[in-house]
Chains A and B, each alone.
Chain A
Amino acid sequence: MWKWLHPYANPEVSYHFTNKLLPWLSALAAIFLSIGLVWALLFAPADYQQGHSFRIFYIHVPAASLSMGIYVSMAIAAFSSLVWQLKLADASAAAMAPVGAAFTAIALITGAAWGKPMWGTWWIWDARLTSELILLFLYLGVIALHNAFEDKNLAGKAAGILTLVGVINIPIIKYSVEWWNTLHQGSTVSKLGKPSMSLDMLWPFIFCFIGFSLLVGVIICLRFRNEILARNSIRPWVRELVQQNTVK
């Protein structure tokens, strides 16, 4: 595996690989998202209790689970950067943080907009909501640390340590609905093998989820190649690329 991975530890190879990957990822994301969202908004049946407000689910749940998924990937990148000093892992962690923060914000906003008609309140200090809010602050802290130092290696180290300490929050979010029985409902989708949802509601969710995951991939790729360029600005291959791309 290391032999296969080795060329991708080269920033130039990763940069060009990311460039090649982007159009494919973007096309797939557009296809899955448009099918998923049209299906979710127009064709999925309304919930028998929640009516059409249930459609918020198709954004809220993918956003919330991706906000945690991105954090875990960011933590893995931060760990490899701290332990094996992979500089590209730092770049990828820096690329992931703003995307994760955006999805956490979306999960919180859609959650509030769903909570108001269903629970009668925009916000409550429920365990799930509070821990998700802490996740947003963790992301903001990581972004701030990445930008706080001129030396990107030092910045990566500081942000990486915060990322790894913050991992403790992920199981707290995940199991908060079981440990503290408060307002937020339990999981409907991820009960392995036996989701408690009818199939005509589940299928559009699967499309939305895959679509949002691909969109995450697209944005991370876009930010990752920016990070690579910024961190390698004195390398000859970047200089050459800049020369080709500057309008004289």
Chain B
Amino acid sequence: MQFNSFSDFINMGGYGFYVWLSFGAAALILTLLLISSKAGHQQIITQISKRKQREDKLRQAKELRKKQNEVLNEVTE
């Protein structure tokens, strides 16, 4: 152990500000990157699922219109 007390450790022999700025900035950047990379997984899954729902709806609407047209044709005939 290189330090006698906790305040000694924080002070870093007078270089405390620079040392903790470096360690803090690195920790912040890496934590943010890690969290956003991890969260991206669920985001993409939600995105794809939404697109799939939209496609399903479009397909259903198309089939419905087809059926309606058939019925209409039968009536007019």
Residues of A within 8 A of B13 (CB): 46, 51-53
Residues of A within 8 A of B22 (CB): 56, 59-60, 109-110, 113-114
Residues of A within 8 A of B19 (CB): 52-53, 55-56, 113
- Contact mask for chain B residues 41-72; partner A; CB cutoff 8 A; 1 contact, 0 none: 11011111101100000000000000000000
Is B12's CB under 8 angstroms from A55's CB? yes
Q: How many residues of B contact A (CB 8 A)?
A: 32
Q: Which of A79-87, A130-138, A143-151, A223-231 contacts B (4 or more CB under 8 A)?
A: A223-231
Is A226's CB under 8 angstroms from B37's CB? yes
How many chain A residues sit at the interface, stated as a range, is: 35 or more
A164 within 8 A of B: no
In the bound assembly, the distance between CA atoms of A59 and B33 in angstroms comes to 17
In the bound assembly, the distance between CA atoms of A52 and B10 in angstroms comes to 11
Interface of B, secondary structure class, is helix
Is A102's CB under 8 angstroms from B33's CB? yes
In the bound assembly, the distance between CA atoms of A114 and B1 in angstroms comes to 23
Whole-angstrom distance between the Cβ of A198 and the nearest chain B Cβ: 14
Is A222's CB under 8 angstroms from B38's CB? yes
Is A225's CB under 8 angstroms from B41's CB? yes
Known: A223-B37, A245-B45. A215 touches B26 (CB 8 A): no
Per CB-CB distance, the 10 closest pairs between chain A and chain B, nearest first, are A53-B15, A52-B12, A222-B37, A52-B13, A110-B22, A226-B40, A246-B49, A56-B22, A113-B18, A113-B22
